[in-house]
């Protein structure tokens, strides 16, 4: 989880660029779907690749939003209730990091499968 936190903190200044790229991809997908009467296989493949890029951008955005706020481990003279609450929150972030890694592997496998076609 430490690595996800470090990566998310490094990428945090670029979140506006990620949103801009996502908007451009969504506009491109909508344009291709609306103004294409009969989509050719090349256009269909372009839409699929745009959706894949949108999935990657969503994944990076989720990483930035979730893992930049992980609570630090409490040290010293904290109350027992505060330490239990902190441990619970950190445990939820560990579970979330496992889910994030599983989704990343799924998107990576999907990427390899789509690029072979």
pLDDT tens digit string along 48-95? 889 999 999 999 998 888 888 877 777 777 788 888 888 898 889 889
- Cα separation, 98 vs 60, in Å, equals 15
pLDDT given at position 53: 93
pLDDT given at position 117: 62
Kindly compute the dihedral angle of the four CA atoms of residues 44, 46, 49, 50, in this order, to the nearest 10 degrees: -110
Average pLDDT score, the chain: 86
The confidence band for 21, taking pLDDT boundaries of 50, 70 and 90, is very high
Q: How far is CA 46 from CA 29, 64, 96, 97, 112, in A?
A: 9, 27, 32, 31, 15
Q: How far is CA 58 from CA 5, 90, 108, in A?
A: 17, 23, 13
Number of structural domains in the chain: 1
- pTM of the prediction? 0.79
Domain that holds residue 13: 2-116
């Amino acid at each position: 989880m430490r690595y996800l936190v470090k990566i998310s903190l490094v990428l945090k200044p670029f979140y506006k660029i990620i949103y801009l790229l996502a908007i451009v991809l969504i506009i491109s997908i909508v344009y291709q779907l609306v103004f294409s009467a009969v989509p050719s296989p090349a256009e269909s493949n372009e839409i699929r690749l745009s959706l894949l890029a949108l999935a990657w951008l969503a994944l990076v955005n989720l990483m930035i939003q979730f893992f930049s706020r992980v609570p630090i481990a409490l040290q010293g003279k904290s109350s027992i209730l505060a330490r239990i609450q902190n441990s619970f929150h950190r445990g939820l972030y560990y579970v979330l990091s496992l889910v994030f890694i599983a989704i990343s592997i799924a998107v990576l496998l999907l990427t390899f499968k789509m690029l072979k076609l």
